[in-house]
Each structure stands twice: as structure tokens, then as C-alpha cells.
Chains A and B, each alone.
Chain A
Amino acid sequence: MGTAMVGSFEGKVALVTGAAGGIGLATARAFGDAGASVVVADSNTALLETAAAELRSAGHEVLAIGCDVTDRGQVNAMIEQAIETYGKLDAAFNNAGINCDGAPLVETEDTEFDNIIDVNLRGVWNCMKAELRHMTAQRSGAIVNCSSIGGMRGSKGRAAYSASKFGVIGLTRASALDYAEKGIRINAVCPGIIGNTPMAKRVTKNNNPEIVKAFVAAEPIGRLGEPEEIAAAVLWLCGSAASFVVGHALTVDGGILA
């Protein structure tokens, strides 16, 4: 699916957070396939090492960094290490995110709300701040933040998650205006229901067939998405083909929001 992009990131440096599995790993692989040096970051360092080993064995240039995006110090250190290693940062996919178990607002614990906002929203904020410092100095760069269809509509039991993903779009659109003239493009992707990811496993309560069936039924295209299909959108948004695409939240959802 991403084959159309091969070779288009030769000599570039790309960062992916939440890269140990799912959409993040697929995107790291796609950046590697396209010729980029890839900085992969994740809070789960054991899983991250496995992912990095897989990428290296495929021949990709990879730097793996354990990073909890909720921690400003760790985020700054991650960006510093990326710059020290590769000298620049051309593209960043701020993808690290978590979902919730799904409960109405009153039954959702405050700690769960805090946790979701911390990872999904403050994490993107922390990453953008560190990335933009370097990209501003370079006067070039492209950032894609991972929102969700939950960032554009409500769905039952996901108030906290939705709030965080709506927030990501707000960060994206507003900051895009600040940095467009400085040669930096900031956009977002809004994945629909994507299968074969750790998050899918969680929201389908470990691939419960009834839940999976309901999700497939909700997809106008009649199937769940693949992580590689989000990766393809991220790479396109980061590439120079999207040079006039600024501040947009691109839906990649099989038609749910249409």
C-alpha cells in the first residue's frame, strides 16, 4: 500500500512516538521503506526494542528511545538525542495515545480522565514544543499529530478520549497558522476503526467477535482499516506533495464520518 512512496524520504529524519506497535510501528516501517532514518519512541521499552530489532533486520536505520510523552524532560531528551544522532528532524508523527475502557462520564474515574488527557493531549503538546524549536531553527519540517474520528464526533462511553482527540485537532489547527510561514506544516490524521493494533485489541475487549462485528458494520467500506493505511496518509502529509496542505485533520476512516 505504501509502495507508491518508496524512495521519497531518502536522506530525511523522521520521528514516531508510540512506535512499539500498531499504527506507530507501521508508520516507522513506512518511513524506513521510504528511505528515512527513523527515531522510534515508546514508553514500553521492552516492546520498543523488539520493534526496533524488526526494523533494523529489514535494513532500516533506526534509533530507539524510551520515552513517556507525558514527561517534558523525557520528551526534550528524546528530541536532543535524535538531533545529536542524525543532525536534524524533518518529520514527526506524534502518535502516542491511549484509549479508555468505555464508560459514561459519571462512571469514568477522574484518574482515567487525567491519564488520557496527559498522554493524548499534553503528550502531543510536549512533543510539538520540542520538535518545533528545532524545526523553527531549520526553517523546515512537517508534523502530523494523531487525532481520531473521536476527535470529530462523539461516541458513547468515550467522553475523556474524545475530549483529548478534539484537543489534538485544536492544537494542530492553531499551531499550523503560527508556523506555516516559517516553512513548517502541521496537520493531523483521524483514523477510523483500525484492526491489528494494541488499541484495537483493547477496545474490542481482546477481539470479542460480537464487538468486532459491530465495528465492521459501522464501517461503510465494510472492513476495518489496516495500520499501513494510516501510515500511508502520514507519509503523504509529511512529504512535499502536500506542500499546500496546512492545519488539516485528514480523516482516514473508511467513510464513517462521511
Chain B
Amino acid sequence: MIRPSRNHPGFWAFVAHRVSGVALALFLPLHFLALGLALESDAALDRFLSAADNPVFKIAEWGLVVLLTVHLCAGLRVMALEFLPWRDSRKGLIGLGAVTAVAVGAIFLLRVG
């Protein structure tokens, strides 16, 4: 149950920022290991890339791209609130970030399809 006192856009922006951050941090070592396959040979990297060329991996990739956009937008919002001379919470920035993430996700799906 989400407490009523939490249920406002600023809290949800924080949740999105935190969840995306943790997910990206956990993914990062795997990303580095996959690219490291090129040390072995070009063919090793190609074998991985073709193994990854299936719907499950594509959905995971799509998720990571969306999470990266979410984390970027949420982080820019926090820094704007911290470093720009605004006294209100600029909730419009949260909507803008959400729209950006949806748009990037949609472009990814259109191009991959």
C-alpha cells in the first residue's frame, strides 16, 4: 500500500529515478563483459550479438534504453531543482521526462521492428 502522503509526482519521480538507477548499475558489468568479448575475437562478439538477436533480448534492450532515458531525465530534473533558482517544484519537468522516455522507447521499437 502506498501511503497517501507519498502519492504525489515528486515521490514517483524519485521512485523512477531510483529503480532505473539500480537497474542500470546492475546491468553495467554485464554490458562491459559483453563488449569485452571483442578482445577474444570479432567472431566471439558476433556470436553474442546474433544470440542476442531475439525478441527476449530486444525487449530487455528496449527496457534498458527506456530506463536510461528515465534516469537521465530524472537526474536532470534533480539538478535543475538543486542548481537553478526555482522555488517551486517544477512538476512540469516530471511530465516532460516521462514523455521523453516514452518517445525514446517508441522510436526504439519503430526502428528495431
- Same complex: no
